Amino acid sequence: MEVHQGKFYLGYWHNYFHPCYLARPKKYWQISTHYRNLFINSFEIMKTYVIRLKKGDEVISEIIDFCDRHKIASGWLSGLGAASHAELAIYDLEKKEYFRKTISDTLEIANLTGNISKLDSKTTIHCHATLALSNFNAVAGHVDKLIVAATCEIIIFEIEAKLERKHDQEIGLNLLEI
């Protein structure tokens, strides 16, 4: 795994312009409110890490290991790359269970999006992916397991807040506490 660490400063990242709208002055991020049925809580980005996973790495376990080693308790991640094996899931709200699909094929990781939080003091990754198959069809879902084929490039935004998950009986999932 290769790692690059940086900080966002008003749209700049290590002296290079980064068009990320999240990189705004702190005063714009100190908003916490409940509006209708939306729970909104915004936080300052503390650090930014860019990591590159290598062939054979398992994405979720590598991210958890990286976060534990760098003491990242909360954050957001985004990535892309290639995979050779994926285990995806889709949650059925009525049955309160996941339907799972395993795919072993040449896969392009078109999108990898997720967050980093704690569940019972353990680092947990809630991650979804959109994967392109060799026939150019796409599949998507919650990532249980993803094996890197050539590379997987991930950016992690560490945030100041301590995000935690708590089990919700009605939904049947460990939901993010905001």
pLDDT averaged over every residue in the chain? 84
Angle at alpha carbon of residue 67, lines to 64 and 70, rounded to 5°: 150
Classify burial at 28, counting beta carbons within 10 Å of its beta carbon; exposed 0-12, middle 13-18, buried 19 or more.
exposed
pLDDT attached to residue 167: 96
pLDDT tens column, 10-48: 333 333 333 444 444 443 333 444 444 555 566 778 899
pLDDT attached to residue 64: 98
| For the chain, domain boundaries | 2-177
pLDDT tens column, 126-144: 999 999 999 999 999 999 9
Q: Please give the backbone phi and psi of residue 86, each rounded to the nearest 5 degrees, phi first.
A: -140, 140
* CATH code of domain 2-177: 3.30.1330.80
Angle at alpha carbon of residue 110, lines to 41 and 40, rounded to 5°: 10
Classify burial at 16, counting beta carbons within 10 Å of its beta carbon; exposed 0-12, middle 13-18, buried 19 or more.
exposed
Q: What percent of the chain has pLDDT over 90?
A: 71
